[in-house]
A = this chain, B = another copy of it.
């Protein structure tokens, strides 16, 4: 059987992961320092607590959690999440547990997108979501950001332009906190203005929130979901997806969604058909982790762990980069974004950087197809040692300087 002509249209046009290929091309380079990934540090995994919880959950609740669970997710987990996040009036019907955040994003997109429908997003944005949107058949348009978050004038004019062209814009996808890849956090005022704009334009918002708890400095900013509920008369415009990947461990594949009950129920219908239910053992372990009060001190520990690495990266950038290079100064998250001079391509720099035994992800990979910018790149600071950050940023600075001179 020759399968090549049998594949569905989206399967045929699906892109292989460019980042994977890039990372593969740097494999086996001895001494390479990589700022490419988006991995949390394994040192932050609460192994001892989890080991104990897994063991007890199976012994004490195994008859229940080894059985089929509800497609909406574990009710007990939802109740603990409501307590943890401190929402008044939030009901389990407004929540869905998913197999990680990408899974929730897929369900949300499947709920709304017919092929050709438009999704708006920040430019740059999270590559994983972009390829998921494109695989579903969405047309993705990126909106520039500035230091305060998504540019609202550009958003408004894009909405007007696309609607005038008869396009069906289904939602805006945004990562307000420590955005991937830019590290930018949307200001409180920008969040409010964004919701106002979307309310006026009747444009739903999918808020992807993997990093808001990873704040090392200053006070947290309310999520779009919280602001919409509280300051916009319980507006149902926002659906928020919170990942456990950076606060427990990505191997556990767990996230939760808060949104309008009707949207949640449609997403649950997709979950029935795609995964039936998330892993019930993992869900109950997360329940007990929250219930026993481990989450708050654990997140404090992670933040204290990561803070010096961020500081180190920022100070090494200061020390090593020429003045024509700029970068974001996040107060948390896991990424820093760097702008090269206009005429310098990070795609080309990537190739040269391999010879200098340092690597990163070129910024062009984080834009919707056809909207790429090339004079930018992403640096991760949560998976390297202090010494690697010092040496790696030193090598990168030297290379960039050599390209200018």
Interface residues of A (CB under 8 A from B): 1, 3-4, 6-11, 14, 16-17, 39-40, 42, 45, 47-48, 50-52, 54-56, 58-59, 62-69, 99-100, 102-103, 106, 110-114, 117, 128, 131-132, 135, 170, 202, 204, 235-237, 245, 248-253, 260, 262-263, 266, 269-270, 272-282
User: In the bound complex, what is the Cα–Cα distance between A273 and B100 (angstroms)?
Assistant: 11
Q: Are the CB atoms of A66 and B51 closer together than 8 Å?
A: no
Nearest CB in chain B to that of A250: its residue:
B68
User: In the bound complex, what is the Cα–Cα distance between A112 and B69 (angstroms)?
Assistant: 29
List the B side residues contacting A9 at CB < 8 Å.
114
User: In the bound complex, what is the Cα–Cα distance between A9 and B102 (angstroms)?
Assistant: 22
List the B side residues contacting A252 at CB < 8 Å.
66, 279-281
Q: Are the CB atoms of A263 and B3 closer together than 8 Å?
A: yes
Q: Are the CB atoms of B59 and A48 closer together than 8 Å?
A: yes
List the B side residues contacting A280 at CB < 8 Å.
251-253
Min distance, Cβ A169 to any Cβ of chain B, angstroms: 10
List the B side residues contacting A6 at CB < 8 Å.
112, 170, 204
Q: A6-B170, A51-B54 are in contact. List 14 more A-B contacts (CB 8 A).
A: A6-B204, A11-B111, A40-B67, A42-B64, A45-B62, A45-B67, A47-B66, A50-B58, A67-B251, A103-B274, A128-B273, A132-B274, A135-B273, A279-B279
User: In the bound complex, what is the Cα–Cα distance between A55 and B47 (angstroms)?
Assistant: 9
List the B side residues contacting A273 at CB < 8 Å.
14, 102, 106, 128, 131-132, 135
